[in-house]
Amino acid sequence: MVIATTATTTELKGLVDDDQSSGAPPVPRSPRSALPYVLLVPSVVILALMLGYPLVRLGIMSMQEYGLPQVFGRPAPWVGLDNFQTILNDSYFWTVLWRTLIFCAVTVALTMVLGVLVALLLEALGRVMRVFVSASLIVAWAIPPLTATIVWQWMFDTQYGIVNWALGKRGESFFANQLTFFMIAALIVVWMGIPFVAFTVYAGLTQIPLELMEAARMDGANFPNRFRYIAYPAIKPILLILTSLSVLWNFRVFTQIYVLQKAGGVTRDTNLLGVYAYRISIGENDYGIGAAIAIVMVVITVLLTLTYLRAMMRVEEP
Amino acid sequence: MTSHRTHRVAINAAGVVVALIALFPVYWMVLTSFRPGQELRTPTPSFLPTSVTLDNYRRVFEREYFWTAMKNSALVTLIVVGLALVVAFLAAVALARFRFRGRASFLVLVILIQMIPAEALIISLFQILDGAQLTNRIIGLALTYLVFVLPFTIWILRGFVGGVPLELEEAARVDGASRFGAFMRITLPLVAPGLVATGIFAFILAWNEFIFALVIMNRPENQTGPVWLQAFNEGARGTDWGGVMAGSTLMAVPVIVFFLIVQHRVSAGLTAGAVKG
């Protein structure tokens, strides 16, 4: 996951470059050869079997009555859009959906604002301090998400958590309360998300010609104005991509919620879409409904992705 | 001059605060893992190392399924890295070296696939693997991880293969090398940094992954490291934080150290791969 993040931006750059050069086709070695198809066979087979087929199966299941009897081999009756009707008429589903969207919006906003501030800080720091702060950020970035969540769980432990001690709240479970539960979950997500945003924005800031900043300073522009009129327009494309990516990632957050629920969170008060679909299907064997929820997740993601693709197009323009 | 100096001090102070926030949880994890149990329950916790014990680690090593979980994680990681590199490399050669019908659509597909929330697929994937008797099997989990590794790996390697000038290979062939020989001696070494970068990516994904392992490997003897750790965490219920932190440290520190060492090379490799497209 860690490097996946770096990847996606560089990959975007790659896509843009690729499109620019798309006028020039790759070198045709042996025209009409079957070789390229042969080389693609393993990838296509794996992707079709492990991704295409599950997607189709998910779609079919979302339109079936698929419960415990079907798990044991009974045929699954076709119910059309009944499952979707059921979840869309369920007020709890809407609660979870809105909760997920709000959690996503809040964590993305915090990650972006703090990430940009850290990037500006990295730029302002001297060499030695910058290396030190970067290394610290890499550590936070590299820790596996599950391990990070468990460590934060320990820091917020009811009896002996260091944070509970610092706040004078020993004996109080922050996980049992809905608001503090989500504050901790958001804290973990943002803490893990900042390094990537900070590094990418910092990389963007270093691309701005030094003379430009220097000239603005000479002309008497203060820091907020220099940021607003010079840095911001230059890094705007990067910010758009980072925001869209963070939305995609934070919309599907699972591990943090799952672990904190086990640590004492009230499941019903703290479900987000991903965990909810998991609990309904694998937890309660109601696969039809679970699949319908998962399909809704995919649809929302596709809608968010369109925004993302549009952001990419905008990068390509200048 | 004075205002400039206060400015510098303020910026450095902010840097220290950011570094502390980033580092503290990791520091606290390692510190706790070496701390005797009774010291974890003192009224006032100490922020500095006091007495050091290896008891927590001993408990982890002696805990059932720890070594099988490590073995399972190592095995699945190895398979994913190996398969991903071979399969993705073949696809990358096809995409970078040939022009064929469907090439552009395949590239778009590779990008789009990465947008699908994997969490949504757990339900049907579990059923499919179950039907194929592949749950609780390393190969079933490895195939699952491949889906998340492949698109990215193909994309990056395609850039690297495309970046090797065809003239180099042709020159080698003029000098008498076979097509395969030219490929092995010229192209492969030049693509090596890309293989390292994508291999590390696959390694970290397979080593860290939790959700799919949780669902697919649901028997204790088939757990991977993260699933074992979470089971330990749930089972301990806040009574053995020393042990849980020792387990967390064992899972996290190798990745952190590894990442600190290779980070520079990886980002350089990835950028090169993307730009060379």
Q: Which of A124, A144, A159 sits opposite B226 (nearest CB)?
A: A144
Q: Which residue of A has its CA nearest to B207?
A: A144
CA atoms within 13 A on the CB side of B249: 22
- pLDDT at residue A30, rounded to an integer: 52
Higher pLDDT, A34 or B213: B213
Q: Which residue in chain A has the smallest CA separation from B113?
A: A51
Provide the shortest C-alpha distance from residue B198 to chain A (in Å): 9
- Cβ of residue A23 closer than 8 Å to a chain B Cβ: no
Distance CA A194, CA A139 (A): 12
Question: Rounded distance, CA A7 to CA B102, Å?
Answer: 24
pLDDT of residue B272: 53
- pLDDT of B31 reads 95
Alpha-helical segments (H) within chain A? 2-20, 35-47, 53-61, 68-71, 82-88, 91-124, 127-142, 145-155, 162-166, 178-206, 210-218, 223-226, 232-251, 255-262, 267-270, 273-278, 287-316
A287 contact residues in B (CB cutoff 8 A): 123, 127
Domains of chain B, start order? 2-55 (no CATH), 63-275 (1.10.3720.10)
pLDDT digits (tens, 9 = 90+) for B115-150: 888 888 888 898 899 889 999 999 999 999 999 899
d(Cα B88, Cα B67) in Å, to the nearest integer?
A: 31
Can you spell out the DSSP letters for A145-200?
A: HHHHHHHHHHHT-TTT-HHHHHTT-TT--SSSSHHHHHHHHHHHHHHHHHHHHHHH
- Tell me what pLDDT residue B271 has: 52
Assigned token pair, A312: 């990419």
Mean pLDDT of chain A: 86
The ipTM of this complex is: 0.87
Question: Residue A128: which of B33, B7, B11 has the closest Cα?
Answer: B11
Residues in CB range of A265: below 8 A, 6 or more apart:
A175, A176, A181, A257
Q: Which of residues 131-160 of A touch B (CB under 8 A)?
A: 132-133, 135-148, 150-155, 157-160
Among chain B residues, the shortest Cα distance to A132 is held by B19
What band does B197 get if pLDDT is binned at 50, 70 and 90? confident
Which carries the bigger pLDDT value, residue A140 or residue B193? A140
Per-residue confidence (pLDDT) for residue B270, from 0 to 100:
52
Distance CA A147, CA A36 (A): 42
Contacts of B86 in chain A (CB under 8 A): 42
Residues 214-253 of A with CB under 8 A from B: 248, 251-252
A67 within 8 A of A287, measured Cβ to Cβ: yes
Nearest CA in chain B to A155: B25
Look at the block and give the residue holding tokens 């769980």: A153
Q: Which of residues 17-76 of B touch A (CB under 8 A)?
A: 18-23, 25-26, 28-29, 32, 40-41, 44-45
Residue A313 CA to residue A238 CA, distance in Å, equals 12
B88, containing H or E segment: helix B66-97
Q: So what's the pLDDT on residue A32?
A: 64
* Residues of A in Cβ contact (< 8 Å) with B117: 248, 251-252, 274, 297-298, 301
Q: Which domains does chain A have, with CATH numbers?
A: 82-316 (1.10.3720.10)
pLDDT band for B7, please (50, 70, 90 cuts).
Answer: confident
Structure tokens at A265: 């969170």
**Terminal Cα-to-Cα distance of chain A (whole angstroms):** 31
Tens digits of per-residue pLDDT, B77-101? 999 999 999 999 999 999 988 888 8
Closest-CA distance of chain A to residue B194, Å: 12
pTM: 0.87
pLDDT in tens, B149-183: 999 899 889 988 888 888 888 888 888 888 778 87
Residues A10, B110: Cα–Cα separation, whole Å: 15
> What's the pLDDT score for residue B146?
94
pLDDT at B259: 80
Which residue positions in chain A have pLDDT lower than 50? 1-25, 318
